[in-house]
Amino acid sequence: MAEQALLMLDDGTCFEGEACGAAGETLGETVFVTGMAGYQESITDPSYYGQIMVFTAAHLGNYGASPLDDEAPKPLAAGVVFHDLFRQGGRGVFPHWRAVESLDAMLRRNGVTGITNVDTRSLALHLRDHGSRNGIISALDRDRASLLRKARQWPSMQGRDLAREAGAGPVRDYTPTEDGLPVPDLHTVLIDYGAKRSIAVRLARQGMKVTVMPATARADEVLALGPDGVLLSNGPGDPEPCSYAVECIRGLLGRLPVFGICLGHQLLGLALGGRTYKLPFGHHGVNHPVLDRGSGRVEITSQNHGFCVDPDSLPPEAEATHVNLNDGTLEGLRLRDKPVFSVQFHPEATPGTHDAGGLFARFRAMILEHREALRHAQAQ
């Protein structure tokens, strides 16, 4: 018989279910994720560090799990919540040729605690109406008063610097494993605030050598490597406490082409003197419509963030380039006087659609234009 578990939110709302994944108890900010597929890429996205992920898709785990689909060496999500989790099967059982284990086995192996057989539709509606809330999943403690006390004592996501922890790796060159990649003719530094593997893959496909630097890298350390451009990665937590990152970005603006994604976009906004604020329940999923104001094209995008840049706080040289069609929030910006742009969504799209994948080619083109402008200036 399956072990029973509880999910308790800090407002006293409680959901019953069955334990899955790693045995134990876990706390985090509870957010709902609307993607219908790509569960493994989502769970291994470092942007979910410190969060309990509620999957709104009714059935998860049906095509198993494979290390080839991981976006990070291990999941950093605090926990997972499912309506129905497929737990049986082994190699060759799943309708996906790369699967080597069940999703449940992958969660257990990586120490991710979960709960299944939960009314996730009701839970998602509650979070939509009342905002993301701290929660606790436990199969160890079924005393509701005790669980509520723990959930209320857990720190808010607002004010937490998680990028320093998620992007704490050493300086290293990314080594592509794909065949047929172009020979690199450009060098890009990827500042890791909790970067997804697919961002480095997309840069390599654009003919770039990629050097990954930690979230705490200084501008002089980045410039010392002599890169052609810098990509500010995605990542978890509140951007405002990341003063070290804001200072670094300010030291890079005007010196190198800069491209920001997700948290990198928010940090760029702060570096420009703007403000950020917390969204009620964030944007988490692969079906968010965004208007590209330049082309007039609507793109369906992959998103995972709980904070947003206030467009009214940005300086005149910053132009809003993308707008979320669900709630009107800022989804992208560029500088009119420097080779700098950023987007709130995930153009690498793992999981998700590839509508915005052309932004990596745009980044390459911007680097080449900047290089040519420097050559022309030196020739004068």
Catalytic residue among 284, 288, 305, 346: 346
Phi, psi of 284 (to 5 degrees): -140, 105
The number of C-alpha atoms within 13 Å of 277 and in the hemisphere containing its C-beta is 8
- Which residue bears the tokens 């570096």? 271
**In the chain, what is the greatest distance between 2 CA atoms, to the nearest angstrom?**
79
Cα radius of gyration (the chain): 21
Q: Please name the amino acid found at residue 365.
A: A
* Spatial distance between the Cα atoms of 57 and 159, rounded to a whole number of angstroms: 30
Helix axes 197-205 and 359-379, enclosed angle (nearest 10): 60
Q: How far apart are the first and last CA of the chain?
A: 79
**Total residue count of the chain as it appears in this document:** 380
Give the residue ranges of DSSP H helices in 27-172. Answer: 39-43, 103-109, 120-130, 144-153, 163-166
Catalytic residue among 242, 248, 262, 308: 262
Is 346 one of the annotated active-site residues of the chain?
Answer: yes
Q: Please name the amino acid found at residue 231.
A: L
How many helices and strands (H and E) does the chain possess?
10, 19
> Is the separation of the CB atoms in 217 and 191 below 8 Å?
yes
* Spatial distance between the Cα atoms of 228 and 375, rounded to a whole number of angstroms: 13
> Is the separation of the CB atoms in 96 and 63 below 8 Å?
yes
> Is the separation of the CB atoms in 304 and 337 below 8 Å?
no
* CA 302 vs CA 6, 37, 161, 286: distances in Å: 30, 12, 23, 4
Is 262 one of the annotated active-site residues of the chain?
Answer: yes
* Spatial distance between the Cα atoms of 250 and 179, rounded to a whole number of angstroms: 37
Is 14 one of the annotated active-site residues of the chain?
Answer: no
> Is the separation of the CB atoms in 241 and 160 below 8 Å?
yes
* Spatial distance between the Cα atoms of 367 and 227, rounded to a whole number of angstroms: 10
Active site residues: 262, 346, 348
